[in-house]
Structure 1
Amino acid sequence: MGLHHSELADRTLGGWLGRIAGNMLGKPVERGDHWTRERIDRYLRRTGALPLTDYLPGPPPDAGPGEFELRPEWRECVRGQIHGSCRDDDIDYAILGLHLLETHGFAFTTEQVGDLWLLRLPYLQTFTAERAAYRSLANGLKPPLTASYDNPYQEWIGALIRADIFGWTSPGDPHRAAALARRDAVLSHTGNGVYGSMWAAALVAAAFTASRPREAIEAALERIPASCRLARTVRHTAALYDAGTSWSDTLAEMEDRTGGLGWIHVVPNAAVITAGLLYGAGDFTGTVALTVRGGLDTDSNGATAGSVVGVLCGAAAIPAQWTRPLEDRVRSAVFGFDGSRISELAERTVRLTATV
């Protein structure tokens, strides 16, 4: 690992803060079929927020009916109105993953993941693949059947958003992080849905020792099959970046290649995350801003990119406009964790790491 305790603690806290801040940034515009890249930028121009350097502003008073349909939670997520993080499944699963490792250790089984869902996570706070798997668990099915039975969302982004905790507790060890993430992901996902989780966990783990985002991306690619669609999509996005293609043109080309999969599928979202990390060049604000402006599943993508760049730069280097409004508090639907201090969650994560 090669990190002193103080640096490990700072980078782990950076991952938690980055994930929560990136999630909060993207949450008001989370609906990729409505909030295209063009509409997001039009909103930012109308509100005087382009370039984007802070949380989204509230809607312009002159917006026409249906022009900018923000998520119902937007009032808790826009600049000047944030007092701690609002609840979101992108954060719930990081918390639940922490509880999983504290309860069962790193030898946890997929069945134990499912048991904790039933015990700690309300059914109506699950969505798509997770809800399908939850329903199957409640009906007595066991993994891996829970991932495939009556589940049309097997390759959507749900498993990827659960992956960060396995990276935070495997600093500098992408191989281990990907293996842990796979054990979690197969409860609800198959194919690229599982590979997305493995890639994200490895990406976060590699960020602890990488010198730049590209290095972490390459290390993460080594942990998934080179021929899978997710790996090919990430490589193609990186190749466009290397060729000097602009950020907007890169995303336009990747949309042409993957757009038919839908806005919650893991593959097109991996392209948005990759582009945000590469063009953000290790700067926290630039990375989360570009990632959310990339559209699709904006809060999930902002959360993952924010976690990676938060680990890369550490908590101390995240600008205060992102962290101060969070007030070191997180809302959560996970039983027993609502109102937790973010700093305490990070400390507990570091303690887990020390037991490895």
Structure 2
Amino acid sequence: MTSTAPDIPLADRVHGGWLGRVAGNMLGKPVERGDHWTRDRIDRYLRLTGALPLTDYLPAPPEGAVGFELRPEWPACVRGRVDGSCRDDDVDYAILGLELLESHGFGFSTEQVGELWLRPLPYLQTYTAERAAYRNLANGLRPPLTATYDNPYQEFIGALIRADVFGWTCPGDPRRAASLARRDAVLSHSGNGVYAAMWAAALVAAAFTAAGPRDALDAALTVIPAGSRFARTVRRVMSLYEASLSWEETLATAEGETAGLGWIHAVPNAAVLTAGLLYGEGDFTRTIALTVRGGLDTDSNGATAGSVAGVLCGAAAVPAQWRDPLRDRVRSAVFGYDGARISELAERTVRLAERRAGAAGAGGAEGAARSPDVEE
């Protein structure tokens, strides 16, 4: 099991979070299409290519493997061919969150999130709820109408994938992280879509001081309404794990209980994430491998699981097969960030975390975030 010892420096944990997000995203990207790449199909592909147990990026498809066609980007994100990261919104939004906090501080408004999107983020690199919100912003609407007008994707996973930076900059403070994530999320989401972002931010923040993934999951549940479907699904997976069901049995049960919500909805993806973290037991490789094998929104789930696992273990403990092929570089659609160094993004994130901690220690004030109003 990977160590979660408390003597891992803050900078190493933050760097581990960034590395984990990028590596987990790259692992899941070739099979990101949950209506086709089911858990069964992913495992059949891994057996076909001799890649079970999964301990590295996905292997390239064998010639003539009908029914196992990967996403078009696969040549740049399979083992032996990774040379820096592929561009993906799961990383773009982490970069945008960093830019947001550097530009506006921790007292940013939801309106400022929208204003930022309209400048460096290309419209065609947004999807589902984010594209609906972007369109609404361009048409002159303001939050919360940007989330609710002509937007059938309000409870999808998009706000969750934007939440990591709020956890990285609020180490050990899950409630503050959730408050920041909520302010970001309501630009494009409502209900379980907002709770998902709050939970993810709190989960990442809790990982800095938690003894392991179970403790981080317990802490993250405290920031969202206990009666929400999102919280009930997370608790259900935790109870199945505690009852000693296998990973496969747990996901099969959760799949039946969340049927009909769709593969990009936040709730079924929370089940996959929770199972990956619990059954991964703090081991970086096992955590992201199980999470991606769980299917649904594989690249987003892999990214979030990798972020949590990377914070728990620190960058120095991220195995070389995941870290080295990234070449410390990210591709990004955010203007000015294509080719940015992962280590530099992590250093900037640490400076923000230290600045917030310093302001809090001085009694207050630089943009102190509101407590999350979870019932809105």
- Which residue number in structure 2 is paired with residue 58 of structure 1? 60
Alignment of 1:35-46 (within 5 A): 35-46=37-48
Alignment of 1:89-168 (within 5 A): 89-168=89-168
Q: Which amino acid aligns with 2:335?
A: F
Q: State the 1:60 CA deviation.
A: 1.3
- Which residue number in structure 2 is paired with residue 294 of structure 1? 294
Q: Which amino acid aligns with 1:136?
A: N
- Which residue number in structure 1 is paired with residue 28 of structure 2? 26
Alignment of 1:177-326 (within 5 A): 177-326=177-326
Residue 16 of structure 2, aligned match among 10, 14, 17: 14
Q: Is the 8 Å Cα contact of residues 61 and 69 (structure 2) preserved in structure 1? A: no
Q: State the 1:332 CA deviation.
A: 0.4
Counterpart secondary structure, 1:120:
coil
Counterpart secondary structure, 1:153:
coil
Counterpart secondary structure, 2:107:
coil
Quick one: distance in 1 between partners of 2:321 and 2:187?
Answer: 37
Q: Which amino acid aligns with 1:215?
A: D
Q: Is the 8 Å Cα contact of residues 32 and 71 (structure 2) preserved in structure 1? A: yes
Q: Which amino acid aligns with 2:129?
A: A
Q: Which amino acid aligns with 1:32?
A: G
Q: Which amino acid aligns with 1:83?
A: D
Quick one: distance in 2 between partners of 1:119 and 1:210?
Answer: 37
Quick one: distance in 2 between partners of 1:192 and 1:139?
Answer: 26
Instruction: Output one character per residue of 1:30-50: Cα deviation in whole Å (capped at 9) or x when no partner.
Output: 000000000000000000100
Q: State the 1:259 CA deviation.
A: 2.0
**Structure 2: any 5+ residue segments left out of the alignment?**
357-376
Q: Which amino acid aligns with 1:78?
A: V
Counterpart secondary structure, 2:68:
coil
Q: Is the 8 Å Cα contact of residues 128 and 153 (structure 2) preserved in structure 1? A: yes
Quick one: distance in 2 between partners of 1:86 and 1:212?
Answer: 30
- Which residue number in structure 2 is paired with residue 83 of structure 1? 83
- Which residue number in structure 1 is paired with residue 359 of structure 2? none
Counterpart secondary structure, 1:154:
coil
Counterpart secondary structure, 1:53:
coil
Instruction: Output one character per residue of 1:251-292: Cα deviation in whole Å (capped at 9) or x when no partner.
Output: 000000002100000000000000000000000000000000
Q: Percent identity?
A: 77
Q: State the 1:62 CA deviation.
A: 3.4
Quick one: distance in 1 between partners of 2:6 and 2:142?
Answer: 39
Q: Is the 8 Å Cα contact of residues 331 and 338 (structure 2) preserved in structure 1? A: yes
Quick one: distance in 2 between partners of 1:71 and 1:146?
Answer: 31
Q: State the 1:314 CA deviation.
A: 0.4
Q: State the 1:69 CA deviation.
A: 2.2
TM-score, normalized by length of structure 2? 0.93
- Which residue number in structure 1 is paired with residue 361 of structure 2? none
Q: Which amino acid aligns with 2:246?
A: S
**Structure 1: any 5+ residue segments left out of the alignment?**
none
Q: State the 1:3 CA deviation.
A: 7.2
Q: State the 1:61 CA deviation.
A: 1.5
Quick one: distance in 2 between partners of 1:129 and 1:3?
Answer: 38
Q: Which amino acid aligns with 2:135?
A: R
Q: Is the 8 Å Cα contact of residues 87 and 332 (structure 2) preserved in structure 1? A: yes
TM-score, normalized by length of structure 1? 0.98
